[in-house]
Copies of this chain bind each other. A is one copy, B any other.
Amino acid sequence: MMKRRDMMTGGLAAVMAGSPVLAQSQIAQSPGAEHRWRMTSSYPASLDAVYGAGNTFIKVLGEISQGRIQIQHFAAGEIVGGFQALDAVQNGTVECCDTAPFYYIGKDPSFAFGASVPFGLSTRQQNSWFFQAGGLELLNELFSQYNVVGIPIGNTNAQMAGWFRKEIKSVADLQGLKMRIGGLAGQVIAKLGAVPQQIPAGDIYPALERGTIDAAEWVGPYDDERLGFSKVAPYYYYPGWWEGASAIFLFINKQKWDELTPLDHALITAAAHQANTMTIAKYDQVNPAAIRRLVAAGTQLRAFPPDVMEACYKAANEMYAEISSQNPLFKRLHEHMSAFRNDQYLWQQIAEYSYETFMIRARGRS
């Protein structure tokens, strides 16, 4: 530890003497202003994995800023509702929020690229696109229009397609299906005759129980088990083709961000990276035991039939073309992300996928 008295007297002497060398050293050591922020979440605190992304970010930032940047976390509904998080940050009600950008596709469908889009990127691809391929910069062109800066702090990894009261044996079974579904996938299944609904986490279970909806997707085994869906819908479908990965974002009010120092920006970035990795790692750690428990308790796993997957893929591409023809930023984001994704699979199918395929088969034998 630095000797406190030496630093204080030396620093004070430097300021008072105007010594340029010591003054410079003192500037380098000046930690900057204190900040007490509020963060409103789109999630209930009971969903510890997804809500935990924000908690981890806050904890790490508190530690590495020596308590200088302290953020208080509020669950969905405590300050504003889960889907009002962006508005609350945009208008300065709170300084920041943790949310899924695709909750705001009503404002601009481009928001979906910040969480997940149908037939989009995997978790690792999404990190690479965000952090090394320019994806995050492109997204922040959008976010800045809503007076916020966006930084990823977690990911759910590939999701399940959710809980169905009846089996889906063909595209015809989607006709009239009322389904809680996130992001742009609603527009895709609507093309196939389904009726999509956006419902916050806490309200899904009663809707599914009462039969107000016929199906609901949330995240994956660990979160879904906590929300109790297995009690009211027996069929658990995969893959969640609209969420090959789904990022959790920190949105910070732009004026608040601009008031911070470069040091504060670096501290927030580092804490966000740690939260991102820890959240991805947490979902990977907790999902296997959860899927085991669900299946042991009677949940029936079902894969979407190939013709359903194909029909959804075709409908998704139609949707992309339609929105792109009207929304230049959406078009740029879609073309940028798609080119990146196609390159990723070109390479991943060689080393990564062939390795994975062998390992999955080897596991099945042992």
Contact = CB atoms under 8 A, between A and B. Distances in A.
Interface stretch (A82-90, A99-107, A142-150, A275-283): A275-283
A123 B122 CA distance: 13
A344 B8 contact: no
A80 interface: no
Nearest to A155: B124
Interface in A335-366: 341-356, 358-360, 362-363, 366
Copies in the complex: 2
B60 A280 contact: no
Contact of A360 (B33, B353, B355): B353
Interface stretch (A126-134, A171-179, A201-209): A126-134
Given A7-B30, A124-B280, A347-B221, A64 B239 contact: no
Contact of A270 (B34, B262, B273, B287): B273
A323 interface: no
Interface string A300-341: 010100000100010000000000000000000000000001
A64 B281 contact: no
A60 B238 CA distance: 39
A289 interface: yes
A32 B122 contact: no
B355 A241 contact: yes
Prevailing SS type, chain A contact patch: helix
A244 B356 CA distance: 8
Contacts of A158: 351-352, 355-356
Nearest to A309: B358
A292 B345 CA distance: 12
Interface in A251-284: 261-263, 266-267, 269-271, 273-274, 276-278, 280-282, 284
Given A64-B267, A341-B363, A353-B356, 15 more contacts: A1-B261, A8-B12, A28-B66, A64-B263, A64-B270, A66-B263, A119-B362, A122-B352, A128-B280, A158-B351, A238-B351, A270-B270, A270-B273, A284-B344, A356-B356
